[in-house]
A and B are shown apart, each in its own frame.
Chain A
């Protein structure tokens, strides 16, 4: 019994020793990056170009309208001639009822045709066309 305990203790001491030695082989990871050997800049040909402070040209937001140069540069509705106002007002002054009705009728006809076509397919009469009319 004593012999077994002694053997177990020796094996345990050997394991502890082996672990401590393996940790001491390599430096910590954060020490690697700080070493002066790795602090190298990539070589370039010529001289590096840096913009003058304050003269950077930032990218324009594509959804922002261009600056027209101040309120005085803007055209107001009142500045337009009657002919120009008519062009600007196009679509507002005209009565669109007939146009909208035509679109509504056309889309309704297309929907009806699609519904009829679907029904014909359901009952298996889709290949018969208008039928036979002598």
Chain B
């Protein structure tokens, strides 16, 4: 290996290690001792009620040319949390029919880095009072007796960011 090839390889290795670190996330706590990472710098709003823990995160309006937004909700669903993943996937796809002009693909099972199992679906819809289609990634992750919904919406999706958010789900102190 000559010196030129060595430098090129080192550059590739450096680029690969930067990519594997993923998008920068800040950890925040949901109910039930569950934590999730939201993109750094995004503003957080809490819409939690007695039944649901709901967090909304959006970039500042000046820095949101892709119309990104994130919703993370945790709902107590003991009966549904024990259902097979295939059935949760069917519910997930059926739930998208509520969206106007929706077109979604088949559900895909997933297992997060911390071992939570779930299912995700991707598609697009045209929001009310909008004339452009928005894309959406929606994952449902099983956490003991609860279901966690991670909904990422944007005109152009950053799939790596969504994967990082779903993978960031963990128990406090994990």
Q: Which residues of A line the B interface, CB within 8 A?
A: 112-113, 115-120, 122-125, 127-128, 130-134
Contacts and interface: CB of A to CB of B under 8 A. Distances in A.
Contact of B151 (A112, A118, A128): A128
Given A115-B97, A134-B64, A124 B75 contact: yes
B92 A116 contact: no
A124 B146 CA distance: 9
Given A123-B80, A128-B151, A130-B127, A116 B67 contact: no
A112 to B, nearest CB: 6
Interface stretch (B3-11, B15-23, B54-62, B160-168): B54-62
Nearest to A129: B98
Contacts, number: 92
Given A125-B151, A127-B54, A134-B61, A112 B97 contact: yes
Given A113-B98, A133-B153, A123 B91 contact: yes
B52 A127 contact: yes
Interface string B44-75: 00000101101010100100100111110111
B95 interface: yes
Contacts of A112: 97
Nearest to B128: A130
Contacts of A117: 98
B69 A120 contact: no
Interface in B109-153: 125, 127-128, 130, 134, 136, 138, 140, 146-147, 149, 151, 153
B96 interface: yes
A22 B80 CA distance: 77
B27 interface: no
Contacts of B54: 127-128
Given A119-B95, A125-B138, A134-B64, 15 more contacts: A116-B94, A116-B98, A119-B90, A119-B91, A119-B93, A119-B94, A120-B95, A122-B80, A122-B91, A123-B77, A123-B91, A123-B95, A127-B54, A131-B153, A133-B134
Contacts of A130: 98-100, 125, 127-128
A104 B107 CA distance: 29
Contacts of A125: 73, 75, 95, 138, 140, 149, 151
A120 B146 CA distance: 14
Contacts of B77: 122-124
B88 interface: yes
Contacts of B58: 132, 134
Given A122-B77, A123-B80, A125-B149, A131 B95 contact: no
Contacts of B90: 119
Given A125-B151, A133-B153, A116 B96 contact: yes
B153 A123 contact: no
Interface in B78-95: 80, 88, 90-95
